[in-house]
Amino acid sequence: MKNRKIILTLITLIVITSAIIMNGCGFNKKTSEYCFPAILISSSGQTQESAVEDLQPDGSNDKLITSVKKGSNGSVVLELNDKQLQAWLNRIEDTIKQCKQEAKNDGCEVIINDDYTQFTYKLHKDANVAQYVSNSTLVATQCLEYQVFTGVNSDEVKLNFIVTNIETGKVMVDAELGEEFTINPEDWKE
């Protein structure tokens, strides 16, 4: 009888400990859905299909995403838990920091406002054009992702992109998300 009580007590402790460990390890974490609008997908140079394929949780993306699926109108819907969301936000900050440093190393400057709806690229005439294009694309994508992950409705994401001549302060580009633009040789004249 005494052994039976000890065994039942041990089994109860094992069950309780297992439940605590499983909950603590995140097996039942709450997830939320985030919708990347088509403009975000296309600004990253992808199609809806390629984005869904690239984002599938497959060992390398397990820490970043729970699931991904096609949304309506070319959008992509991601399901993330809180830890994954924080990983995305950290990745966004790291990527932007890296782009800012690369621009600085090239004698340029990248400035982003607090709500990630506007970024300014201060460019000099002899800047590395490939790096400028690459950094601009990355920063634009990261700003849009940040907006989605911080609660902006996917239909309401916006981005104002400004390019200025770092030497003169002249604005050469002031474009909204989706607008095409070019920088011409005349733009460098004062």
Q: Read off the pTM.
A: 0.80
Q: Is residue 82 part of a domain?
A: yes
- How far is 26 from 50, CA to CA, in rounded Å? 29
Establish if 184 belongs to a structural domain.
Answer: yes
Q: Are strands 160-165 and 76-81 parallel, antiparallel or unpaired?
A: unpaired
Residue 16 domain-assigned (yes or no): no
How is 121-190 classified by DSSP, letter by letter? EEE-TTS-HHHHHHHHHHHHHHHHHHHHHTT--GGG---EEEEEETTT--EEEEEETT------GGGG--
In a domain, 14, yes or no: no
**Residue 163: inside a domain, yes or no?**
yes
Whether residue 70 lies inside any domain: the answer is yes
| Residue 1, in any domain of the structure | no
Q: Is residue 20 part of a domain?
A: no
- Owning domain of residue 103: 31-188
Number of domains in the chain: 1
**Given CA atoms 105, 111, 114, 119 in this order, what sign does their dihedral have?**
negative
Each of the 190 residues of the chain gets a pLDDT tens digit; together they read 665 555 545 455 454 544 444 444 545 579 999 999 999 998 888 999 999 998 888 766 667 899 999 999 999 999 999 999 999 999 999 999 999 999 999 999 999 999 999 999 999 999 998 999 999 999 999 999 999 999 999 999 999 999 999 999 999 999 998 888 888 888 887 6
Phi and psi at 136, nearest 5°, equal -60, -45
